[in-house]
Amino acid sequence: MPYLGLGACSAGSTGAGVGEAYGLNSSAGKLYLNDQRVQQNAAAIDTITGDLLRDPQTGMHKGMESVAQQVYLALRTLRGSSVVKNLGFAFKFKVISETTAQKVRDAVNEALNDLVLRRLIAIERVDVERVKVTAISILVVWKNLTNGETNTTRFTPNG
């Protein structure tokens, strides 16, 4: 064990005694673990409530992949409501028409454009499905270019 400066020799050759500073490597701690107990690099977000998820046994935040978190935030944040100017989804509708699906695809591409330009993701498919007379469901299939995983994000705008 290294000599710790404080307490080992309070009036030593340096102001805090003899020894060396002792610190923990920040990458050594398992800050975020997913459900399979694999270390992740971002806090997991509940896609329904928007709350950060915690492990019920330990109370520690659960983890998710940071690129997946960025995709979630880009699609769930209303454009213009964040400090980040280009973050968010900017599509609201009152009437579903023949052009709604294309407008939604354009809005998804715009919301995820920054992640695409930074080569973090590639959008593979955007499906728009009418679920009610006044509601649509959007399915975005995207590839995480940092680890090669293909992911699916489903959401409903305006709600």
Helix extents (H) in 32-128: 66-76, 100-117
Predicted pLDDT of residue 47: 81
Distance CA 44, CA 60 (A): 11
d(CA 114, CA 83): 15
Torsion of CA 71, 68, 149, 29, to 10 degrees: 160
Phi and psi torsions of 33, nearest 5°: -120, 140
**Amino acid 144: pLDDT:** 96
pLDDT confidence of residue 43: 92
What pLDDT is stored for residue 54 in this prediction? 93
Q: What's the CA gap between 142 and 115, in Å, rounded?
A: 11
- Any residues with CB less than 8 A from the CB of 10 and at least 6 apart, and which? 16, 17
Tens place of pLDDT per residue across the chain (159 aa): 455 455 555 555 555 555 555 554 544 456 888 888 888 889 999 888 889 999 888 888 999 999 999 999 999 988 888 878 888 888 877 788 889 999 999 999 999 999 999 999 999 999 999 888 888 999 999 999 999 999 999 988 765
Task: Tell me the pTM.
Answer: 0.74
Cα separation of 55 and 137, whole Å?
30
pLDDT at 13: 53
Spatial distance between the Cα atoms of 120 and 105, rounded to a whole number of angstroms = 19
Domain with CATH 3.10.450.40 in the chain: 66-155
pLDDT of the residue at 22: 53
pLDDT of residue 96: 85
Q: Note whether 63 and 33 are within 8 A (CB).
A: yes
103 Cβ neighbours under 8 A, 6+ residues apart: 91, 93
Residue 50 burial by Cβ neighbours in a 10 Å radius (0-12, 13-18, 19+): exposed
Task: Return the pLDDT at 1.
Answer: 47
Task: Look up residue 84 and give its DSSP letter.
Answer: S
Query: How many residues in the chain?
Result: 159
At residue 49, the pLDDT reads 85
What per-residue confidence (pLDDT) applies to 6? 54
Q: Does domain 66-155 have CATH number 3.10.450.40?
A: yes
